[in-house]
Amino acid sequence: MKRFLFLFVIGFLLQSCARVGSPIGGSKDTLAPKFLSSNIDTTRVNVPTDIKELRLDFDEYVTLKDVSKNLIISPPIKNITRIIPSNIANKFILIQWKDTLQANTTYNFNFGNSIGDNNEGNILRYFNFAFSTGSKLDDLYISGDVKDALSTKKPGENKYVVGLYQVKDTMNYKQKPYYITKVDDDGYFELNYLSPGKYRIIAFEDENGNSMYDAGKEKVGFQKDPVVVEKSISGLNIKLYPSKKPVKYLEMKESPGGVLMAFEGKPEEVKVQPLNEKIKDYKVTHAPKSDTVKIWFDALKSDVGQNTTENLKFGYNAGVGKKIPCTLPRCSISTMQKMPWISTATTEEAFFRRGKTLRWFPIITSIRSIRISGFSGLQATV
């Protein structure tokens, strides 16, 4: 009897334990988190410029996935100090910063696909939150498609982004765009909450996730002319092409009958000319977009010396005020006036307004077989 009673109690306890938790075969949560409220007034206008945080409340516990790559703030807010949740799920998202916001400006927080619920990982896709430090929310937009010009496949999962830079006297493309958005898996993009103005638009494959175009490394596409945003624009098409490596002088070395210049990248055109009349007869051969240039000399016609030798002395300028030391021995930096890139307005170099000038100065120079001496130098423009 005691044995029977003992087994009955054990069986009852096991049955009770089995009933704890969700029933087997219950419905699966397929709903994305729902946004409830924020610390900013529901009108989202006249927000103080000295506000230092944004809090967004949801109806369930949420996590942030790859927030550093997914979250895009336009215009950019510098000095972000804290983002919650980090490692542990929470019912709110908190973003804190040190910057003072710009007056009369609409800020847009685009979370991409970073927000998901903690249980099933249901994504709240492309969630945006915008507010204005002025009296109204800017509501203009630009939308369109981005495609790889050399591929017939649909974009699918990609790292494409589209950005707008304000057209000013000086534009720094090494900074994040003023407005920026991600391209979805179908190649579609929207830049929302834009203020009226004149912008340059650029699309690129953001391989390293820094929200800036890295020349020579990432695919890029852009519009030749600035975009004037006075009303919303739709149907804009941008094609991406492999990025052209920035032209960089590498070295000069001897070659039978002349000298050989080597470049990183492939300059479209290279011009060489003597800086004085000592070199009377020379020839330059350069195939378009080749990375090497051959300079031929006729030593007899130029009456150059044959005995004295010196190392090459030269410098090169990659932009106004930017001086880069050369890579050969006994080199020096030369101050010179920047010369414009010889190109058309549709090329990448023209878009970024880049120019490069190279100049090297053989003092009394002989490179063994070619014996160049007694002249002040040559100038090459690429």
pLDDT for 346 beyond 80: no
Say if residue 228 is in the same domain as residue 146: yes
158, 194: one domain: yes
Q: Give dist(CA 73, CA 179) in Å, integer.
A: 8
Which residues form the domain of 360? 248-381
Terminal alpha carbon distance of the chain? 103
CATH number of domain containing 58: 2.60.40.1220
Hey, how many other C-beta atoms are within 10 angstroms of the C-beta on 193? 20
Q: Which residue has the tokens 């090497």?
A: 292
Lowest mean pLDDT among 34-38, 137-141, 157-161, 360-364: 360-364
Please indicate, yes or no, whether residues 95 and 149 belong to a single structural domain of this protein: no
Q: What is the pLDDT of residue 40?
A: 94
How many other C-beta atoms are found inside a 10 Å radius of the C-beta of residue 125?
A: 13
Q: Do 55 and 92 form a contact (C-beta atoms < 8 A)?
A: yes
Mean pLDDT across the stretch 45-63?
96
Same domain flag for 340 and 283: yes
Of 219, 243, 267, which one is at a domain's C-terminal end? 243
Question: Is 255 found in the same domain as 345?
Answer: yes
Residues 6+ apart with CB under 8 A from 187: 145, 146, 147, 154, 155, 158, 160
CA–CA distance, 36 with 38 (Å, rounded to integer): 7
Q: What is the CATH number of the domain that holds 213?
A: 2.60.40.1120
**Stretch (H or E) spanning 292:** strand 292-297
Token digits of residue 309 = 């030798």
Residue 178 lies in a domain: yes
For residue 315, being part of any structural domain is answered with yes
Tallying the residues shown for the chain, one arrives at: 382
Structural domain ending residue among the three candidates 201, 220, 243: 243
Q: Is residue 4 part of a domain?
A: no
Q: What is the overall mean pLDDT for the chain?
A: 73
The pLDDT, as a whole number, for residue 118 is: 92
On the question of pLDDT at 90 being above 80, the answer is yes
Q: Residues 159, 264: one domain? A: no
Is the same domain home to 316 and 255? Answer: yes
Question: Cα(260)–Cα(109) distance, rounded to whole angstroms?
Answer: 53
Is 296 found in the same domain as 209?
no
360 and 283 co-located in one domain: yes
Q: Tell me how far CA of residue 185 lies from CA of 112, 115, 182, 188, in angstroms.
A: 12, 17, 10, 7
Please tell me whether residues 52 and 115 are part of one structural domain: yes
Question: Does residue 345 belong to any structural domain of this protein?
Answer: yes
pLDDT by residue (tens digit) across 158-200?
889 999 999 975 667 788 899 999 998 899 999 999 999 999 9
In the predicted structure, residue 116 carries a pLDDT above the cut 50: yes
259 and 369 inside one domain? yes
CA 226 to the chain's CA centroid: 18
The DSSP element (H or E) to which 350 belongs, if any, is helix 348-351
Within this chain, do residues 254 and 375 fall inside the same structural domain, yes or no? yes
Looking at the predicted structure, is the pLDDT value of residue 289 above 80? no
Q: Which residue has the higher pLDDT, 48 or 319?
A: 48
Residue 20 lies in a domain: no
Amino acid in the structure at residue 168: K
The domain boundary, picked from 226, 243, 260, lies at: 243
Provide the number of structural domains found in the chain.
Answer: 3
Please give the pLDDT value at position 77. 94
